[in-house]
Each structure stands twice: as structure tokens, then as C-alpha cells.
Amino acid sequence: MQTKTIGLIGGIGWASTAEYYRLLNEMVVERMGTSHSARIAMLSLNQHDFTSRAAQPGSYVIEEFLVQQGQRLQAAGADFFALCANGAHRFAPKILPRIGMPFVSIVDATARRVQASGIERVGLLGVRQTMAGRFYHDRLEAVDVEVITPDAAEQEIVHNIIYNELVHNRITDESRAVLQRIIAAMAQRGAGGVVLGCTEIPLLIKAADVDVPVFDTTDIHCRAIIAHAFGMPPA
């Protein structure tokens, strides 16, 4: 049975947060039957409140903001929490000690899944800060997985598709074709799989759309959250 109340900080953006809510409830039904649903406390943020603070010099302002949200979530009854956005995880090392609540990391869960697959080199897609940053690279390299990313121009294209379309739940065949081309190029460079390192990208790209294994971080994260909520080993 679900022994811990799930805490979610979402809304950045809302479309993928809706997927979290759907997937978590479906996973609880799979475990417990159709008369059950997930016990969740959720803060759905105004995306602008997050992005405007994250864009300020340094990280103090956004860290303070996220700490406040974590504390609000704990006051609402959450026993642990998750950030429903890959890019926000770059702030996790600074905010977690101040929130003092157990945390389920999308980066850790994804690294475990990639490691278990046996794939030694993966492509990484996400917002600019995820592809150009180190928080995913370092975690995957720690389990002997090499990370490759699109070039700078392609990173800008991916970033713009996410923020101009996917966070607004705008799904187009044209953008799917663009990401398929970028993924194929990374496969030609030796990527044996691709990490969809933005929780909106799985709204657009499915496993059947590409010729390499896909690591859907939204689904991976939800499975890890459910495992924690049910007191099971990490998924």
C-alpha cells in the first residue's frame, strides 16, 4: 500500500505536470486496483515565477524560491518530494539540505535506468541549461556512461521547441521531425540511446519515433516516485 504521501513541485510547465498526475494515478491503480488513486500533495507553480528568478544573476533568488515551495509542500502533508522538471534539478544540491525532506531525483532514477540498460553512450536532449550544464553529465559519467549533446545551434532549436511549443502543450509533426533528425545525428555519432531530459519532450517523441532506445524521464521518474511512496527499492 502507499505508505507515504507524494509531494510534487510542478507547473514548469503545466503540460508535463499533468502527465505526472496521470501516470502516478495509473501506477497506483495497477498496484492497488481501480478503487484506489494516488495520495499526492502538489504545488503547481506559475512558470513565470520560476523562469524569471532562474534568469537572474547567480542562483540565490531561485534557490530561496524553491526552498519556500518545498517548505510549503511539507506543510501540506508531503512525506517526500520531487521536482517535475529536469532543468530544475540543477538547483537541487543547494536546496535539499535546507528543505530537509526526502527527495526523489529524476537524474538519479534516469542514471540507474541507463546503467541497467548496458548502453555506454547516450544522447541528451533538454532545455539549454540541461544540455550545456553538468548535472546530468556528471551523474551519468559516474556510472560509466558517456554523454553527447547536439551542437550549439541544435541546442538552441531544441530549447525553443520546448519553451515555445511543448510547455504550452503544442505538439506538431514539424517539430517531431526536427527532433528525430537531431536524435539520428547523435546516433550517427555513436549514441546507443537518447535521454529525453525534459519532461515535456516525451509529449512529442515516443519510442516508436526513433531508431534508438528512448529514456523517457517522465515515466522513469514516476516509477521511482511510486517505488518510494510504496516503500520499495528505487525503480
pLDDT per position as a tens digit, 67-99? 999 999 999 999 999 999 999 999 999 999 999
Q: Name the DSSP class of 58.
A: S
**Within-domain flag for 235:** no
pLDDT of residue 118: 98
Residue 125 sits in the same domain as residue 80: no
Residue 90 sits in the same domain as residue 154: no
With a cut of 80, say whether residue 235 has pLDDT above it. no
Which neighbouring-strand residues pair with 10? 44
With a cut of 90, say whether residue 234 has pLDDT above it. no
Residue 40 sits in the same domain as residue 118: no
pLDDT of residue 50: 96
Residue 210 sits in the same domain as residue 120: yes
Task: Tell me the one-letter amino acid at 62.
Answer: I
Q: What angle do CA 93, 158, 81 make, to 5 degrees?
A: 30
Percent of the chain with pLDDT over 70: 100
pLDDT of residue 77: 97
**Within-domain flag for 111:** yes
Please compute the mean of the pLDDT values over residues 157-186 and round it to a whole number: 97
Strands (E), 98-149: 121-125, 146-148
Q: Are 197 and 131 in contact (CB under 8 A)?
A: yes
What residues make up the domain containing 25?
6-105+219-229
Give the closest residue to 107 by CA, choosing from 220, 228, 231. 220
Please compute the mean of the pLDDT values over residues 151-157 and round it to a whole number: 97
What is the per-residue pLDDT across 39-66, written as a single tens digit (0 to 9) for each? 999 999 999 999 999 999 999 999 999 9
Residue 70 sits in the same domain as residue 150: no
Residue 199 sits in the same domain as residue 113: yes
Q: Name the DSSP class of 49.
A: H
Task: Tell me the one-letter amino acid at 174.
Answer: E
Widest CA span in the chain: 49
pLDDT of residue 169: 96
Residue 19 sits in the same domain as residue 83: yes
With a cut of 90, say whether residue 133 has pLDDT above it. yes
Domain count across the chain: 2
